[in-house]
Chain A
């Protein structure tokens, strides 16, 4: 029996006792949105309780409530059967709750020991000073207890992501955490690092630590989870055991209806001329020797694990990063400049983080829609409000962007509509090749279908598309073909009939 299976068996025995920690009827409201609506939830010692939900389902609000960063509006918390309050991070700490967020809370220029004991430093002889020897010794002890052998005097800025995560866990353990909340812990880890993490989780389980684990990866959910809770729109939909459901069932619960997994792709066009040809492209951000081709009427996928270099490739193609070697030919013309040249030639980039890189949130929908098309709409350089609003409103209608008016601040729109604005901006500019970086991230399923329909229409009308996605299913359903990346290089190309989740994953894996 594997370690994990053993611990699962152990958990089912322990469940006879009252839960270690329980939430009952927790609600949290913000102006305009109910983040948590009457959520109830429990964990037993030594269990891994999976938390699933789409973006906006309430997972991050739940985490913030658990660690005391947010205060719940109503509902109650129970520890070992007794009612407790969590009004501040200190309360959560006292209960032994520790949350490990995706963005770590480590201070880069302090060392491991200082980070672990931040706020709880052992005092030196003079009041206010720190006992250096003791803090290092204590830190070493904690690190050893989780099997992480490293010198505690090393500064955080010198550690890799996986190592930093270990430090975060050590920090939690040093606070006598009995309940650990982990937010997508394997998102930035390599396979080997993921294995080590799972071994650590097994160890923690054996010690009786309860783990609330947020993940989007079905494989993990089923192999690691003892129980699964699904959230949707701030409400708890259901709690199930991994053996009793299939991943389709889970998706249905997360989404609220039977998801039509067939995306609206017409595959109407036979691919036309070559729009983009990349030869031997390399850049300082770690990609090398990239060759790829995109034709008119095609949607070409770009896959690979997180960190394989996909975003770096498209940034180099678009000119956002400088290329150190190679050639980029767009519609026959050589391209060597920055984003302004790219836009002028007809390239478009829809970035991964639309709020930070794709939109000016304080400006209006209209302003954002025309910003890349200024030279096209006003070739003489003189700007006219009336004309600008006209163009903007046309686009709003055409793309069915849900906004009270073109003057609405774009930051107030929903994720899906914001994405439409980003795409619309390039439509207005007359782009011929659209590069999408995770186009449906953070968008609810209804809007996702709309976005794909939009992309399909663009391509059917003669444009070309290059699409990065971490969801293999999307790639398989939507793309004509796909390149798979690994470690900054193209590992292979899959034609339409070869496109399957298995093949993508196989090509994208390390071959040590």
Chain B
């Protein structure tokens, strides 16, 4: 007699209502409240601006699946975008700027991973520490000033198109597909589920949880490096405090998207929808001429609401 699954509980497909409903609701509300929302240029703008957040939220999803958190992403983003600006300015080469930024990002990621995996410090404390470090370094490296005058190629990364599609969206989609493949079709991805779901299982399979954790955080660092390029391209300059706090939006996007913080269950598509939701929220509030401070507060409320719902689900 064929065995059936005994527990028929929520699976990701049943989560679509959550974040998709929120997204649709926000779109409806905003399109009713401001005429400028539901236009092609505006929507395209939202999507393009969301790619930076997406690049942070994708690795953040993996990190949160391992029951971790990376609070330093925003500060490291600030630093990497400065590095891109400084190196591009000094060498005239976009590529060198990108490589340098990714190197710095990977360095911070590795330090985070090492602190969490080897030294054993709780992730939010460890990354809170590296947040401070990155913040300090940003100030030192920039001397508190913006960095301007980079080669035009840098700006081109943000404003260029590939086959009519804005380059940032191409990069964003590419990143999404890469992460999707990574999480669901590679051994690395399989082990990520184990890190959050049952770390002991990895030990018995002879796989080093430490190495995996360091890799996950380092991967985050690499993506932050890439995002740094995009951000510098967007602002056409490097700024000593831009990017601070973006990790919060990333965490919000992941939480809203349905990835849980404690059980090793991750849903990348949810993160994608979550990123768009956060982007739509900010955009809509912007069009309603509400200051960025209110936007930040709203995203905060969004996170709290999402976590509350996640908590309810895990208890049912």
Residue B204 lies at the interface, judged by CB distance under 8 Å to chain A: yes
A109 and B3 CA atoms in complex are apart in Å by 19
Residue B2 lies at the interface, judged by CB distance under 8 Å to chain A: yes
Q: Which of A41-49, A150-158, A427-435 contacts B (4 or more CB under 8 A)?
A: A150-158
Chain B residues with CB below 8 A from A372, complex form: none
B185 contacts A158, C-beta separation under 8 Å? no
Tell me the chain B residues, 141-158 only, with Cβ under 8 Å from chain A. none
| A contacts with B, residue count (CB < 8 A) | 35
Question: In the assembled complex, how far is the CB of residue A439 from the closest CB belonging to chain B, in whole angstroms?
Answer: 29
Chain A residues with CB below 8 A from B264, complex form: 107-109
A150 contacts B2, C-beta separation under 8 Å? yes
Chain A residues with CB below 8 A from B201, complex form: 105-107, 115, 118
Chain B residues with CB below 8 A from A132, complex form: 185
Q: Which of B13-21, B127-135, B169-177, B190-198 contacts A (4 or more CB under 8 A)?
A: B190-198
Chain B residues with CB below 8 A from A151, complex form: 2
Tell me the chain A residues, 104-131 only, with Cβ under 8 Å from chain B. 105-110, 114-115, 118-121, 124, 128-130
Q: Which of B5, B9, B197 contacts A107 (CB 8 A)?
A: B197
B5 contacts A119, C-beta separation under 8 Å? no
A158 contacts B7, C-beta separation under 8 Å? yes
Q: Which of B11, B187, B263 contacts A130 (CB 8 A)?
A: B187
A121 contacts B198, C-beta separation under 8 Å? no
B187 contacts A89, C-beta separation under 8 Å? no
Tell me the chain B residues, 7-46 only, with Cβ under 8 Å from chain A. 7-9, 11
Question: In the assembled complex, how far is the CB of residue A231 from the closest CB belonging to chain B, in whole angstroms?
Answer: 23
| B contacts with A, residue count (CB < 8 A) | 32
A118 and B204 CA atoms in complex are apart in Å by 9
Tell me the chain B residues, 254-270 only, with Cβ under 8 Å from chain A. 263-266
Q: Which of A88, A90, A108, A159 contacts B6 (CB 8 A)?
A: A159
Residue A327 lies at the interface, judged by CB distance under 8 Å to chain B: no
B203 contacts A89, C-beta separation under 8 Å? yes
Chain B residues with CB below 8 A from A107, complex form: 193-194, 197-198, 201, 264
**Which A residue sits closest to B206, measured CB to CB?**
A90
Residue B119 lies at the interface, judged by CB distance under 8 Å to chain A: no
Chain A residues with CB below 8 A from B11, complex form: 155
Residue A93 lies at the interface, judged by CB distance under 8 Å to chain B: yes
Question: In the assembled complex, how far is the CB of residue A98 from the closest CB belonging to chain B, in whole angstroms?
Answer: 9
A106 and B264 CA atoms in complex are apart in Å by 12
Question: In the assembled complex, how far is the CB of residue A85 from the closest CB belonging to chain B, in whole angstroms?
Answer: 16
Contact string against B for A residues 347-362, beta-carbon threshold 8 Å, 1 for contact and 0 otherwise = 0000000000000000
Chain A residues with CB below 8 A from B3, complex form: 148-150, 163
Question: A residues bordering B, Cβ < 8 Å?
Answer: 67, 69, 88-90, 93, 103, 105-110, 114-115, 118-121, 124, 128-130, 132, 148-151, 154-155, 157-160, 163
- Chosen A-B contacts, 7 in total, with CB atoms closer than 8 Å, are A69-B204, A88-B206, A103-B200, A107-B193, A109-B266, A110-B194, A118-B205
What 4 pairs across the A-B complex have the smallest Cβ distances? Answer: A119-B205, A160-B6, A158-B5, A150-B3
Question: B residues bordering A, Cβ < 8 Å?
Answer: 1-9, 11, 181, 185-188, 190, 193-194, 197-198, 200-207, 263-266
